[in-house]
Amino acid sequence: MQGCNLREINVTQQDTGSAAVNYDSIETPSQFSDFCEAIADEPVIGFDTEFVSEDCYRPELCLLQVAAGKHLAVIDPYTVGDTKPFWDILTDDTVEPGKRVVIAHAAREEIRFAYRFAGRPIAGLFDTQLAAGFVGIEYPASLATLVQKLVGQTLPKGETRTNWRHRPLTKDQLTYALHDVTTLAQMHTKLIADVKALDRVAWLDEETDRLQQKVIDAEESENWQRVSGSSGLKPRQLEIIRHLWRWREEIARSKDRLPRRVMRDDLMVELAKRGSPDVKKIRNIRGMERRGYNDQYEEIGDAIAAALDVPDEQLPRRNRGRSRSASPMLSQFLSTSIACISRQQKLAPAIVGNSDDVKELLSYELDPRRGTPTPSLLKGWRGDIVGTAFRKILRGELAIRVADTSEQQPLEFVECEGSPQREESEPDSGNA
């Protein structure tokens, strides 16, 4: 590409040790436009991001690293400006399925950036961390762990907590950043072969779609229910929390600050309990007398007053849970059995489910109620391998025995001879 700054780094390689590799430093809008045009038709695009999130409303994109065919580049968002053309390439859903793969590792934040800048999920996403869990490798595995296991390389260390906002970036920072993408294509080749050998491409696609939708839902939803300390509040108090949460989000967004640095959760809960829009009463709450609130008392009072005007029938209400709770021993037993199922299926246990998923399934099975959402362990591929087994355990048709004491997971499931078969109708375990 014309006009790009061609530079060189040393990249560790499996057979030849350290080798010099050229990369493009994309620093201007014109360079960026040329680069996007150059990679637009590449069938394999590996990428990673560096960002800062601890002191701003949303993670701040500080660097983009891309490996696509013969193109290896670092992109500086600060000097390039609008990075939307790159995200438009990654989210282009008009590309025929299977014609392009976009590779990233632990891609939650990358999904968020794509949705923020392009408004769509990543098309053809292959998350190496997710794929590793479907072939029995540790999950969630770090990039360094997977690179070592799959490619036999050791990634450079020392820049994990680096200040990615600082310019100019050092050679060590750039080397660290580029190492995050130089092995993605190799890892994809090995992982996709194993996924296909186990006939789990559909499972991986399903879980990738689920991950992307979960990230997008989190971006779009109002998360006022997660305010710490609000679980025992009454409906009217919850409405105050909701209004204060909205006010806090708007202030945080406008000032690019973490919401909890605008107002702590415990102060929101105390305001909700007091339930008064009176400025004097608000100011008298310990912690609310800080100078930073001097210009906000009226807005806080207005938010509370608006919550007090909401009709009773529109007030939020917490789910009270189920009247019947499962035996803690049964819950613990089934949680342990996930590892057993995973071992038999060559799956990483953490990708299958956790104790909360087990409790959700038990509540659903032992106290079924109309309108209750189908638990995750009964949907999709999890329903096929976990839901079916758990239901057999609850019916006494499946048992666990010690198979090999020398194994890390020494247990296995066996069918019980002469187990009673019930002619009960069961909730749908498909993709509900």
Cα(first)–Cα(last) distance of the chain, in Å? 49
Is position 420 within any domain?
no
Whether residue 121 contacts residue 115, with contact meaning beta carbons closer than 8 Å, is answered with: yes
**Axis-axis angle for helices 265-274, 235-255 (nearest 10):** 140
- Domain end position, chosen among 165, 200, 220: 220
Tell me how far apart the 2 most distant CA atoms of the chain are, in Å. 76
186-200, 369-383, 400-414: lowest mean pLDDT where? Answer: 400-414
In the chain, the amino acid numbered 217 is D
Stretch 147-165: mean pLDDT: 85
Tell me whether residue 428 is in a domain: no
Residue 155 lies in a domain: yes
DSSP class of residue 278 equals: -
Percent share of the chain, pLDDT over 70: 89
pLDDT for the residue 255? 93
Contact partners, residue 322, CB within 8 Å, separation at least 6: 363, 367, 369
Do residue 385 and residue 266 come from a single domain?
A: no
pLDDT at 260: 92
Residues 227-264: pLDDT tens digits? 999 988 999 999 999 999 999 999 999 999 999 999 99
H or E, element range at 240? helix 235-255
Copy the structure tokens of residue 44. Answer: 């394999």
CA–CA distance, 172 with 167 (Å, rounded to integer): 13
**What local confidence, expressed as pLDDT, does residue 425 receive?**
42
User: Is residue 249 helix, strand or coil?
Assistant: helix
Could you tell me which residue, 80 or 11, shows the higher pLDDT?
Answer: 80
Say if residue 205 is in the same domain as residue 114. Answer: yes
Average pLDDT taken over every residue of the chain: 87
In this model, does residue 308 exceed pLDDT 80? Answer: yes
DSSP state letter for 289: T
Residues 116 and 246 in one domain: no
Task: Give the residue with greater pLDDT, 247 vs 393.
Answer: 247
Based on the domain organization, do 245 and 301 belong to the same domain?
yes
Which residue type occupies 95? Answer: V
Residues 293/271, Cβ–Cβ less than 8 Å: no
Is residue 371 pLDDT above 50, yes or no? yes
The answer on 85 and 182 residing in a single domain is yes
Structural domain span for residue 24: 6-220
- Do both 173 and 120 map to the same domain? yes
Beta carbons within 10 angstroms of residue 223's beta carbon = 10
End-of-domain residue from the set 314, 347, 381 = 314
Whether residue 12 is predicted with pLDDT greater than 70 in this model: the reply is no
For residue 430, pLDDT beyond 60: no
DSSP category for residue 54 = T
Residues 42 and 54 in one domain: yes
> Which pLDDT value is given to residue 364?
86
Are β-strands 101-104 and 44-52 bridged in parallel, bridged antiparallel, or unpaired? parallel
Do 78 and 154 belong to one domain?
Answer: yes
Judge if 214 and 277 occupy the same domain: no
Q: Is residue 54 part of a domain?
A: yes
Give the list of residues 6+ apart from residue 250 with CB closer than 8 angstroms, or none: none
Between CA 272 and CA 267 the distance in angstroms is: 9
pLDDT confidence of 58, banded at 50, 70, 90?
very high
Q: What percent of the chain has pLDDT over 90?
A: 62
**Whole-number Å distance between alpha carbons of 194 and 173:** 33
| Tokens of residue 428, six digits | 């749908």
Question: Would you say residue 158 lies in a domain?
Answer: yes
Who has greater pLDDT, 410 or 125? 125
Residues 209 and 230 in one domain: no
- Quick one: CA dihedral 38, 41, 46, 48, positive or negative? positive
User: Domain total for the chain?
Assistant: 3
Same domain, 164 and 195: yes
Question: Where residue 426 falls among pLDDT bands split at 50, 70, 90?
Answer: very low
What CATH number has the domain bearing residue 406?
1.10.150.80
What pLDDT score was predicted for residue 204?
A: 97
Identify the sign of the CA torsion 196, 200, 205, 211: negative
The predicted pLDDT at position 11 comes to: 58
Asked if the structure places residue 1 within a domain, the reply is: no
426 part of a folded domain: no
Q: At which residue do the structure tokens 């638990």 appear? A: 375
Domain match, 68 and 82 both: yes
Phi, psi of 252 (to 5 degrees): -60, -40
CA dihedral 208, 212, 218, 220 (to 10 degrees): -150
Q: How many CB atoms lie within 10 A of CB 363?
A: 20
What is the C-alpha separation between 315 and 311, in angstroms, rounded?
Answer: 7
